[in-house]
Amino acid sequence: MTGLEEAVRHHPLFRGLEPALVHAAVRGATEREAGAGELLAHEGSPADSLFLVLSGKVALQMDRPDGGALTVQTVGAGEVVGWSWLVPPHRWRFDVRAMKASRALVLDGGSLREALQGHPAAGFQFLLRFLPLLAERLENTRLQLMDLHAR
Amino acid sequence: MLADRSTRPPEPAELPSPLAPRPYRVGRVLRETSDTMTLTVRPASSAAIARPVPGQFNMLYAVGVGEAAISVSGVLEGQEIAHTVRRAGKVTEALAELTPGDALGVRGPYGHGWPLDLARGNDLVLVAGGLGLPPLRPVLEAVLSDRGAFGRVEVIYGARTPKDLVYYADLQDWRQRSDLRLQTTVDVAGGDWNGDVGVVTRRLPDARFEPDRTVAMLCGPEIMMRLTAQALVERQVPASRIFLSMERNMKCAIGLCGHCQFGPSFLCRDGPVLPFSRLAPFLSVKEV
């Protein structure tokens, strides 16, 4: 077992899942370091990665109509970035940019999908852990729309 | 036998009206954001109001326009008091137009403030949203002036955008300190913002405190306070030790008119600071 597979196995998203699924899921995985300001994913480009952020902070950004970037969420150590690898047409819905020096495990989206299909029971367990992250993002976006910080 | 006139209770007409403001003047005006400013006010006569405690509010009277309830955002040397005002209506527009030396009326201080005594010896979590920071600033100033009496201090402050963050100098100062932890977050930001983006509840998991020896003080929009309080309860902070500063339409400020009624409480008299354990049954009831 590689050190990378070991790290993924201990991530909350994968901890305790069937080892065969984890083994298949890390096929093509890499560890990536990014400097402040570095673009990790570009809106509209093929979404073939799931980032497990190990350290630092990354921003989810969209282009403003008048130019420049608009940060809609920041994500830090222990959190994950990217769900478009799971949902067709598998294209990034936003830019992902490191706000400071950051490190992440980058799982290959195609390998992940194959792993989930190949191990349906464990794959379902994985989705049960992954969906709440999406729900939380949606909930937070709703709260931001409600102008939570206004008074 | 006739009563001695020197000891008899005063006739009603001789009592100062509890609704009569005291004459004050503006000391300094500090522009915080495009629509928010901090005014310091000092008495224009010997008839000063009592010294407020953190969490209380005053009724500020813009001469000829009307009154607005404004939280105390600083208790300064002498009898000077700071209030932070956002332009949100006729009265606050008029207050925001005041310049040093201008006259205004002040009555107060009103309500129950933050439970600083309960917080002593405990960890303290302060969570502010938008203009919720001003009522909490005096708490932080009191804590920092007696820092050894408190445990860990976590401050989480959220605003709409980086431009809406108030107390820039204080934030810089607090960020430098090693004896408190400040997390700021905004709803949305440009690419030049290096801080966090997202709602304040997302910052709570990073806050370090011992739940069973923590006192939390929350101030901001009601939904923000409700969700933050729920998140704190999920982290095992007792609801009786989570305090919210509630805002309603304060009119008389002395518990008579009922404009600020919230369930069984008159917030001007019983609040504005109340424990979540008491507020929770009513926070999710529509039109309360």
Torsion sign across C-alpha atoms A49, A100, B186, B94? negative
The CATH number given to whatever domain includes residue B243 is: 3.40.50.80
Residue where one domain finishes, among candidates B72, B89, B110: B110
Domain assignment present for B24: yes
B122 and B250 share one domain = yes
Contact A149 B164 (CB under 8 A): yes
Q: Residues B25, B42: one domain?
A: yes
Residues B184 and B213 occupy one common structural domain: yes
CATH number for the domain spanning B29: value is 2.40.30.10
Please report whether residue B8 resides in a domain: no
- B127/B63 Cα distance (integer angstroms): 34
Shortest CB distance from B202 goes to which of A61, A99, A140?
A140
Rg (chain B; Cα; Å)? 20
Instruction: Tell the residue number behind the tokens 């209380």, with chain if given.
Output: B56
Domain boundary pick from B75, B110, B145: B110
Cβ–Cβ of B129/A149 closer than 8 Å? yes
Mean pLDDT of chain A: 91
Share of chain A above pLDDT 70, in %: 96
- Please identify, among B90, B110, B130, the residue that sits at the C-terminal boundary of a domain: B110
Instruction: Identify the pLDDT of residue A137.
Output: 87
Asked whether the beta carbons of residue B200 and residue A147 sit closer than 8 angstroms, the reply is no
Please answer whether residues B234 and B225 qualify as being in contact, where contact means their C-beta atoms are separated by less than 8 angstroms: no
Whether B158 sits inside 8 A of A148 (CB atoms) is yes
Is residue B81 situated within a structural domain?
A: yes
pLDDT tens profile A52-71 = 999 999 999 998 887 788 99
Q: In this predicted structure, what is the pLDDT of residue A34?
A: 97
Gap between the Cα atoms of B260 and B249, Å rounded: 5
Q: What is the mean pLDDT of each run of 10 residues along chain B (288 residues)?
A: 57 72 95 95 92 95 95 92 95 96 95 95 96 96 96 96 94 96 93 89 93 96 92 96 90 86 88 92 78
Residues of A in contact with B204 (CB under 8 A): none
Task: Say whether both B124 and B75 belong to one domain.
Answer: no
User: Which residues in chain B have Cβ-Cβ distances shorter than 8 Å to A143?
Assistant: 199, 201, 223, 227
Query: B23 and B155 share a domain?
Result: no
ipTM: 0.81
Distance of alpha carbon B24 from the chain centroid:
20
Q: Is residue B78 part of a domain?
A: yes
Nearest by Cα to B56 from B218, B272, B276, B283: B272
Q: Do B220 and A149 touch (CB under 8 A)?
A: yes
CATH number for A3-109+116-145 (one of 2.60.120.10, 1.20.1050.10, 2.30.130.10, 3.40.50.1100): it is 2.60.120.10
Contact B83, B60 (CB under 8 A): yes
- State the amino acid at position B257 in one-letter form: C
CB of B283 within 8 A of CB of B242? no
Residues B67 and B35 reside in one and the same domain: yes
> Both B134 and B158 in a single domain?
yes
In tens, the pLDDT along A116-139 reads 999 999 999 999 999 999 998 888
Alpha-carbon distance of B101 to B70, in angstroms, equals 19
Interface contact A74-B198, CB threshold 8 A: yes
Whether B273 is covered by a domain: the verdict is: yes
Contact A149 B224 (CB under 8 A): yes
Residues of B in contact with A57 (CB under 8 A): 196
Residues on chain A bordering chain B, Cβ-to-Cβ distance under 8 angstroms: 57, 59, 61, 64, 68-74, 76, 97, 99-100, 140, 143-144, 146-151
Using CA coordinates, name the residue in chain B closest to A99. B194
Concatenated DSSP letters of A56-102: SEEEEEEE-TTSSEEEEEEEETT-EE--TTTSTT-B-SSEEEESSSE
Model confidence at A3, pLDDT cuts 50, 70, 90, reads confident
Determine the Cα–Cα distance for residues A122 and A25; give it in Å rounded to an integer: 11
Which residues make Cβ contacts (< 8 Å) with residue A74, sequence separation at least 6?
A57, A58, A59, A60, A99, B185, B195, B196, B197, B198
Q: How many domains does chain B have?
A: 2
Same domain, residue pair B54 and B89: yes
What 3-state class would DSSP assign to B61? Answer: strand
From CA A37, how far away is CA B118, in angstroms rounded? 45
Chain A: give the shortest CA distance to residue B222, in Å: 9
Query: CA of A139, closest CA in chain B: separation in Å?
Result: 10
Q: How near does any CA of chain B get to the CA of A39, in Å?
A: 12
Choose among B132, B159, B188: nearest Cβ to A72: B188
Q: How many CB atoms lie within 10 A of CB B100?
A: 11
List A58's β-bridge partners, or say none. A75, A98
Q: pLDDT tens digits for A78-99?
A: 999 999 999 999 999 999 999 9
Residue A76, min C-alpha distance to chain B (Å): 9
Query: Are B73 and B38 contained in the same domain?
Result: yes
The reply to whether B47 and B149 lie within a common domain is: no
Residues of B in contact with A64 (CB under 8 A): 190
Tokens 């077992």 — which residue? A1
* Partner-chain contact B191 A69, CB within 8 Å: yes
Alpha helices in B31-121 (DSSP H): 90-96, 116-119
User: Residue A133, SS3?
Assistant: helix
Enclosing domain of residue B160: 116-282
Same domain membership, residue B276 and residue B212: yes
Phi, psi of A39 (to 5 degrees): -85, 125
Residues B177 and B276 in one domain: yes
End-to-end CA distance of chain B: 53
The reported pLDDT for the residue numbered B15 is 66
Q: How much is the pLDDT for A116?
A: 94
Residue B147 lies in a domain: yes
Mutating which of A139, A140, A148 best tests the B interface, going by the most B Cβ atoms within 10 A? A148
- Both tokens of B117, joined, read 């005594």
Q: What is the pLDDT of residue B7?
A: 65
